[in-house]
Structure formats: structure tokens, C-alpha cells
Amino acid sequence: MSSGRRESSGSGFPSVLGADGDIDLTGELASPMRDEPPTNRPSGDAWVLDRDRRSLPPGHAAKSLPPDRPVPASAESQATTRDEVHREIADRFALGDYAAALSAAELQLGREPDDDEIRRYAESSRERLEVRYATRIGSLDYVFNVSVPDSKIKWLGLDPQAAFLLSLVDGQTSVGEVLDLCQMGKLEALRVFTELLDAKAIERVG
């Protein structure tokens, strides 16, 4: 009579029954499959690495992913950027925004000192700004005097050069003479003088 125990021979699966008929989970199931070759993949994130490998296009599975590197700009892209800068400066100059045109032109000249076209824009913008500031003042022959008390000058927030320029405004020295004595560039000195005038820190004498 059959004992009711199924034989495992020929089934291809290991038996889970021990010799005494009890279930044994520490037997053949605990050992590796005979037909499975050993793996050399590292533990931990091995499954993730294997997934990334399998997601690569054909022919790239054996190659590791390269690190991120900045792509060097081509000569064509550099020329395009240069053309865009030229166009921006020309547009600002045409709109009468000479301060912005001059700032952009000086920045471009810092990168390309031999850019003659941009140099001409810078010079023209500087000249037009000087005329604009001088027109706002009225005349370089005018004489101005300080119109705020000494105790309130600190609230003007002047840098050392602007404070020195203001100290030269004494009711006797002309604007032109102040510009010569202040040790600043003409355009910068005119700009500061105009700002002092707009802030009502100085007033014309006579």
C-alpha cells in the first residue's frame, strides 16, 4: 500500500520532507540551485545597477555612464552670442538709453578689447551722456553752493569721491573747476554733480 508520500525523484524539485516524513525547510531548499551559476555582482545596490545596465541602448550595456561634463561652446555659438551683444548695444543706443549702452559696451570690451565697433558705441554713449549731464547743470561756468547743513550731509549717502566733490562746492569755484579738481573722470563727476543737484544738496549762486 502506498504511504501517501509523493516521491521527488524525477520531478526536478527538491523534497521538503525529511527522512522521517516531517517537513524540513533547512534541507535542499537552503542550498543554491545546482544549475544557477554563482554571481559576482556586489551586494546593496546591485539590483539598481543591473536595472540601469539593462535600460541602456543595445551595445552600451558594458559601458559605464560618463560623468557630467560641461560642453564646450562651439565657435558658432560664440559668434552668435557676440552678434546678440552687438545687437543689444545698438538697440539701447538707438533708444537713447546711453547709460545701459555704455555699461554693456564696456563689459564687452573687457572680453574683446579689439572690438572697434563696440568701442565706437562706448565713446559715442559717453559723449552723449556728458552732454546730457552738462545740459542739466546749465553751464560749466556756473557757480554752486552747498544748500544742506553740514549735519545732514551724512544722510546723502555719498561715497568718499562724491563727498570730496561736494567739499569743493564753495560758492566761488565754477563747475568746470570743480570737475578738474575732484580727481574723477569727467563723466562720473558730471553724473555725481547732477545727482547732487537733483537731490537739492547744491544750488546755483546768483
Which of 63-67, 102-106, 112-116 shows the lowest mean pLDDT across its residues? 63-67
Q: At what angle do helices 98-111 and 75-94 cross, to 10 degrees?
A: 160
* Among the listed residues 128, 154, 130, 133, the one whose alpha carbon sits nearest the alpha carbon of residue 197: 133
Model confidence band, residue 41 (pLDDT cutoffs 50, 70, 90): very low
Model pTM score: 0.59
Q: In what order do the strands lie in the sheet with 143-146?
A: 170-174, 143-146, 202-204
As a whole number of angstroms, the distance between CA 49 and CA 14 comes to 32
* 121 vs 8 pLDDT, higher one: 121
Mean pLDDT for the chain?
A: 76
Residues sharing a CB contact under 8 Å with residue 205, sequence separation 6 or more, in sequence order: 142, 143, 144, 145, 171
- 204 has pLDDT over 70: yes
Locate cell 545596490: which residue? 45
Return the pLDDT at 158.
87
* 16 vs 198 pLDDT, higher one: 198
* 13 vs 110 pLDDT, higher one: 110
Return the pLDDT at 152.
86
Over residues 86-95, the mean pLDDT reads: 95
Return the pLDDT at 177.
95
Contact 45/51 with Cβ under 8 angstroms? no
Return the pLDDT at 72.
55
